Amino acid sequence: SAQEAGQVLPPQPASLKIVNRQITGYVGFANLPKQWHRKSVRRGFNLNVLCVGRTGLGKTTLINSLFNENFSDTGVRSGETPDGNDQSLDEDTLGDKNSQVGGAVSMRNTVKIETQSKTIEENGVKLKLTLIDAAGFGDAIDNTDSWKPVLSEINSRFDHYLDQENRINRTKIEDNRVHVCLYFIEPTGHYLKPLDLEFCSQVHDKCNLIPVISKSDILSDEEIELFKSRISNQLREHGVTLFRPPVYKMDDNETIQTSKTLYEKMPYAVVGSNSFVKDPNNPELMVRGREYPWGIIEVENSNHSDFNLLRDLLIKQYLEELRERTAHELYENYRSKKLISLGIKQDNSVFKEFDPNTRQEEEKRLHEAKLAKLESEMKTVFQQKVTEKEKKLQKSETELFARHKEMKDKLTKQLKALEEKKHQLELSLANPSTSSPVPQKKKGFLR
């Protein structure tokens, strides 16, 4: 203390109490996770799930089973939607449903993106779940380009995010990016179809791809094992990357093992159901399941399907990792490619110190690059139109020439015939003995 150090303390008022505290070295930042927890719970979470697969493969039923919800078969069309204000994602708008599902099989693919959104709550934690459904995918006779509208939906959601980031006011950025894509494989037990492989190859570097074998209750355990290994081989041969639950240095053995198992068991053979049946072990309880004459399939029974694995990965263990990979790897990749394509280069010295002027300059440059691109596209279209018009004019000119020539030939022929006739007449006039019907005295007149 100061006294011990030989210092003279100023006289203390009698009412003042001096409390001696012991400094333990604990300053309080160990509490940061708690602060983070409180903040996250207040903010809530969101997850955007893209479901792709032929109509009737059980997509809606599986989502309902996963989240214990009641999504309907069709959502809000988002060809014209959810771009930013997110009105189309509100539950209020869900009444305005318009579906093509269930119609006759069409020749060409008519994929329509439909979205439904619900905020669900569990123990005070809110999750805004958005279901993006590629309705009509794989339903047509010719499905060659079925993947295109889905890919452009993923890209346009990235573009929308990029636009929000480039705004002057970036305080309220809405995350509509696709966090995970569940790809539904038909339970044929054979091999993946060309459309399955094409789709997976096109989107695997744009979203977290998780393949599932739907309605797996129609396959035996052996058939599922064989089908799974064939699918994994095919995906590997085509260079398709699936979502791999990450492992960190500080993870314990159990977590590492869980992550490994979850990855190795893909594609998950799942079963979904919208109804509840009596629990065979406890008839008082009702469980989500499917009842058959030969028995009951419980959705949440790990011996019956991989449903629990999918739910663990998607919700319980790796929801945040799905979101994080979307934001830090997939979106960043897309963003840098996009900016480079717009002619913007990153100058590291600029980013060393934040300077609002530089930021504004950057935004201006971005805007100008966009305008330049738009202008060049318009020019190209204009040039194309002019070329087309010129070609058309050339064609009609050629046709006109041809018609003109034809007419001319016809007239020349007629003229020739008349001249021939005239010649004959003259001959007969000159030589009346050859029984010409023309009288001799009119000869001069005729000439």
Residues that bind ligand GDP (CB under 6 A): 55-61, 73, 215, 217-218, 271-272, 290
Closest CB to ligand GDP among 58 and 211? Answer: 58
Amino acid making up residue 265? K
How big is the chain, counted in residues?
447
Q: Based on CB atoms, which residue is closest to ligand GDP, 184 or 334? A: 184
Ramachandran angles phi, psi of 324, nearest 5°: -65, -40
Centroid of chain to Cα 284: 44
> Which residue lies nearer to ligand GDP by CB, 267 or 272?
272
Tokens (6 digits) for 429: 């006039």
> Nearer to ligand GDP by C-beta: 139 or 362?
139
Minimum CB separation of residue 92 from ligand GDP in Å reads 23
The DSSP call for residue 326 is I
Chain position whose Cβ is nearest to ligand GDP: 58
* Helix axes of 147-165 and 331-341: crossing angle, nearest 10 degrees: 80
Q: How far is the CB of 112 from ligand GDP (least distance, A)?
A: 13
| CA dihedral sign of residues 216, 218, 221, 225 | negative
Three-state secondary structure of 194-259: HHHHHHHHHHCCCCCEEEEECCHHHCCHHHHHHHHHHHHHHHHHCCCCCCCCCCCCCCCHHHHHHH
Question: Residue 271 or 310: which CB sits closer to ligand GDP?
Answer: 271
Closest approach of ligand GDP to the CB of residue 60, in Å: 3
Task: Compute the least distance from the CB of residue 400 to ligand GDP, in Å.
Answer: 58
Q: Measured from the CB of residue 73, what is the shortest distance to ligand GDP in angstroms?
A: 5
Least CB distance to ligand GDP at residue 217 (A):
5
Q: Which is nearer to ligand GDP, 302 or 387 (CB)?
A: 302
**Residue 145 contacts residue 126 (beta carbons within 8 Å):** no
